[in-house]
Amino acid sequence: MDIKIRKANPNDVPAMLQLVKELAEFEREPEAVINTEAMMLEDGFGKNSIYSAFVAELNTKILGIALYYTAYSTWKGKILYLDDIVVTEKQRRSGIGKKLIDAVLREANTLGVNQIRWQVLEWNTPAIAFYKTLGVELDPQWINCRMSKEQIQNYVDSAHF
């Protein structure tokens, strides 16, 4: 299988979003994806793009993606956050994920970041096992916090400040 890893381009967005939706199904939250092709086009390839991505391609078919962005840590300085790494279900455990992660790690090295971070669901044992083969540190001390757009709006509307 001759998988090509390359930087994503605007034409890849429909396939990228489809893989994101496939991941959401796997993670048991299909209704959580509110992203659209238009949003992904603007956010990744518009004037003020805020993410980059690699795609894994076989004969012009996108089989996997790794979407990431740079961020800043007050403790570490410049970091790279890997938001999603997705390989279509039928191609998992075929080496595509490793090729994508390799591309992201090369990019992190080129960018000179001091750390790379990502999340994995605690029940996703195949992914955890894969990440352990890379020598990653699993950090059980931190709890993720988040607010939805609606929660942000409710907070602002109720004048807490």
Phi and psi dihedrals of 7, rounded to 5?
A: -65, 145
Half-sphere exposure of 91 (CA within 13 A, CB side): 22
Q: Which of 69, 72, 81, 131 is catalytic?
A: 131
Counting every residue written for the chain, the total comes to 161
User: Which token pair is 9?
Assistant: 């381009």
68 contacts 104 by C-beta, under 8 angstroms: yes
131 is catalytic: yes
Provide the 3-class DSSP secondary structure of residue 63: strand
| H helix runs in 46-148, sequence order | 96-111, 125-133
Residues facing 82 on adjacent strands:
68
The amino acid sitting at 35 is N
57-93 CB burial, b ≥16 within 10 A, e <16: beeeebbbbbbbbeeeeeeeeebbbbebbbbbeebbe
The residues annotated as belonging to the active site are 131
